[in-house]
Amino acid sequence: MCLDFLKDFRATPGFENEFNRFINNLRNSEIIVAFPGAFFFIGEHAVMYGQPALYMSIPLYVFTGIKKSEVEGINIEMWQTDPKSKLCKKLIWEINQKEETQQCIENILKREFIEPRYHIFALMQVPPRCGLDSSGAFSAGVSVILGMLMGYISEEKVWEWQNSNLSELKKDEEFNKTFEIAWEIDQTIQKGSSGIGPFISLIGVRDEPVVYFLVENEERAKREWFAYLLSELYGEDEIKWLKKAPIALIYSGETALTRESLDKLRSSSYNASQNILPFSKRLLKRQEIFEKIKEIATPLQSVLISEINKNREQYIRTARINIDELIRELGKENRKYNISDYILSRVLSILGGFSLICISNFKTSSDKEYVVKMMNVYQWVLDSLNLSTPKINEICRVFQKENGIGAKLTGSGCGGDVVVFSYLPHKRSRIEEIIRGNDHVVHYKSWDEKKIYKPIIRFGKYLVLPPYDLKEEEKKKLMSA
């Protein structure tokens, strides 16, 4: 079994003995899996409201193992990589977060008639609370482990998911069940999830971004996911340029919780709307912006183009709304609207327009300058929503001054990493120069050598158990089969 990844981790001084005990438990786990983190090019927060996002996995992993326990219940032990020193320390959970996550996993096992008696060990190579999908990668790993315990997932099946077109996964029952479980766990951890994090982690490191969005499905009474690799949308030749495009993820020196960012977003939406809507009106009045949106490739058109056409007037009409008048009118009519959510959905629908412009230009034959322009505009809007910080703004400004470079925060905001991107290969040297000159801590560089791990590192098939509500003789019969 390949456990070479363990030698890359070192404990924070003073915690060596405790860390070594943890590593031994992880090393001796019956099942060990590895799923990657990811970052947003564009679309964070707006994706929660059905808008498209562009998201890309990175070869930084969460390694998760499981062992049978003598004690009833689920117990999670998690160690993280420090964002700055890159040494390991025990994760400090938020109040009730660990207990809620353990209870969520326990409930899933009981739902599937499996006795919840397990230790779960997780080691985060992805630095948490930096907008790099540590929660999604952990949730994906746990959901795959649970699927293996339940007996419907094999090593071959997971490998197939990570090498399939995403349109094929739409029809894969085992994938959808696993994704739904991962989404449920991610929702519990973060108190809000579009599912994009665990989805990207489940499909592995792909070396290209994924377009992901949700659509209301009245028949299923829930939101339905749609996702496409850019190569599925535009063809392999149209995205070859991306292989040489420099991408860097720079640590801002601050961390933040998704659940706190979501609360701040809701509370900030009213004040932010005062600036964003007039700004968006000026930008969206330009006809060429709408022409750019209409260049979306065929698979997306069937789902989105009608919404784009329908919403063009809505975008402009929304931009003209006087928020105070709106609140008064709704109050007169005594409608049961949550004003904050209403305004937020309008603000984020405008952000969705920026995402579409960015996505539609992510190909050789388009004007790729719009990609960095929209990234920079998006950062401005996130800052208006109080989701950026002075330190993140400072990092972004330095890169945004350069022609052909985009820079914005990635993830929920209020801290974490800045994604720096250029469609011009020669800008790599300038990006490196700025990084060195400012002594930035870098979590990922696209031009560095990548270490890719198999999703299933170990699978002890003997661990798969029959349902715990069966009679003893039925269990013995199943175990001996």
Q: Do residues 306 and 294 touch, judged by C-beta distance below 8 A?
A: no
Per-residue pLDDT of the chain (481 residues; tens, 9 = 90+): 457 778 889 999 999 999 999 999 999 999 999 999 999 999 988 888 788 899 999 999 999 999 999 999 999 999 999 988 889 999 989 889 999 999 999 999 999 888 999 999 999 999 888 899 999 999 999 999 999 998 899 999 999 999 999 989 999 999 999 999 999 999 999 888 899 999 999 999 999 999 998 887 666 557 889 899 999 888 999 999 999 999 999 999 887 665 555 555 555 554 544 444 444 444 444 444 444 444 433 333 443 444 444 444 444 444 444 444 544 544 444 444 444 555 556 666 667 777 877 888 888 888 898 899 889 988 887 887 778 899 999 999 999 999 999 999 998 777 889 999 999 999 999 999 999 999 999 999 999 999 999 999 988 755 555 444 444 455 445 444 4
- Residue 447 CB burial class (10 angstroms; 0-12, 13-18, ≥19): middle
Q: Is residue 25 assigned to a domain?
A: yes
pTM (2 d.p.): 0.82
Q: ∠ at Cα 133 (130, 137), nearest 5°?
A: 140
Phi, psi of 17 (to 5 degrees): -65, -45
Those residues with Cβ within 8 angstroms of residue 108's Cβ, 6 or more apart along the chain or in another chain: 146, 181, 184, 185
Q: Is residue 474 assigned to a domain?
A: yes
Q: Is residue 20 assigned to a domain?
A: yes
Q: What is the DSSP string of 248-294?
A: EEEE-S----HHHHHHHHHHHHHHHHHHHHHHHHHHHT-HHHHHHHT
**Of 204, 197, 151, residue with least CA distance to 33:** 204
Q: Is residue 313 assigned to a domain?
A: no
Q: Is residue 343 assigned to a domain?
A: no
Q: Is residue 61 assigned to a domain?
A: yes
Q: Is residue 332 assigned to a domain?
A: no
Which neighbouring-strand residues pair with 54?
42, 211
- Residue 3 CB burial class (10 angstroms; 0-12, 13-18, ≥19): middle
Strand 222-229 and strand 405-409: pairing? unpaired
CATH code, domain carrying 99: 3.30.230.10
| C-alpha to C-alpha distance for 88 and 9, rounded to whole angstroms | 7
Residue 394: CA count within 13 A, CB half-sphere:
11
Phi, psi of 217 (to 5 degrees): -125, 100
SS3 label, residue 118:
strand
Where do the DSSP E strands lie in 69-116?
Answer: 73-81, 88-90
Q: Is residue 257 assigned to a domain?
A: no
* Residue 59, domain extent: 4-240+451-480
Give, rounded to a whole angstrom, the gap between the first and last alpha carbons of the chain.
26
List helix spans (H) across 285-368. 287-293, 298-320, 323-332, 339-360
> What is the domain count for the chain?
1
